[in-house]
Amino acid sequence: VSHQRTDWISIHGRICQLLLPVLGLQPCFHSETDRKHGKEQLLRRQESLIAVTLSTAQGFVWAGKPLEAIPAALQALRFSSRVFGSGSLQLVPVYLLLAEASTGTGRLRQAAKYLSQARWIVLQTPDCSAALQSKLHRGLGLFSIAEGNLDQALYHLANDVYLATAEFGLNSVEVSGGYFHMANIFFRQNEMDAANSLYTEV
């Protein structure tokens, strides 16, 4: 019952009306034009579901409610896999979000599995953008912080900064997150000069 309540609060209360046209029986079309139009309409509905579930999950993570984020993120993964395929780059942000939410609930083993999935997809895609690789390294860095492996976290966050700089430029807002998390690590290690320098950069 508690799982159903969490699931309903998280996402099903928002998408229940959207599910029937997507998961229910599809109409039988008599012409090629109608079939094409029906497929396009179904794809738009599925993409709309992905957008709603992903933004809902992200909102819960930002609000500090990782447990509520997980059902929404799992729905985003379900529909993203159906629309784009199980090895698509479009699944990487969903896996990273699931990893962040799982880490937030203390489920580090599950978070590691999601990060492995994201990493595998990126490794299998030679033309993966630097922006997405940057997000992957930030996720790996935050996970390493949760594990207490600060040296590994600094390695991933440095890669995050490098890749974000390559994609967006040296003074872009996208770079500031990596600097911020690195500064927090140096602060924890009582290396105040490095921490203050990075906070200033942010």
Q: Would you state the structure tokens that stand for residue 21, as one six-digit string?
A: 């046209």
Between CA 195 and CA 93 the distance in angstroms is 28
Instruction: Quote the percentage of the chain above a pLDDT of 70.
Output: 81
Residues belonging to the chain: 202
Range of 8-12, 34-38, 129-133 with top mean pLDDT? 129-133
pLDDT given at position 4: 52
Greater confidence, 29 or 109?
Answer: 109
Q: Would you state the structure tokens that stand for residue 79, as one six-digit string?
A: 């529909």
State pLDDT tens for residues 52-95.
889 889 999 999 999 989 988 998 998 899 889 989 999 999 99
Residue 16 pLDDT level (bands cut at 50, 70, 90): low
Residue 23 pLDDT level (bands cut at 50, 70, 90): low
Q: Would you state the structure tokens that stand for residue 170, as one six-digit string?
A: 């040296």
State pLDDT tens for residues 144-198.
999 999 999 999 999 999 999 999 998 899 999 999 999 999 999 999 999 999 9
pLDDT given at position 46: 77
Cα dist from 87 to 72, 121, 181, whole Å: 20, 6, 29
pLDDT given at position 160: 97
Given a cut of 60, whether residue 18 has pLDDT beyond it is no
pLDDT given at position 53: 86
Section 11-33 average pLDDT: 57
| pTM, to two decimals | 0.81
Q: Which domains does the chain have, with CATH numbers?
A: 129-201 (1.25.40)
User: Which residue from 73, 80, 98, 72 is spatially nearest to 7, judged by alpha carbons?
Assistant: 72
pLDDT given at position 96: 97
Mean pLDDT (the chain) is 86
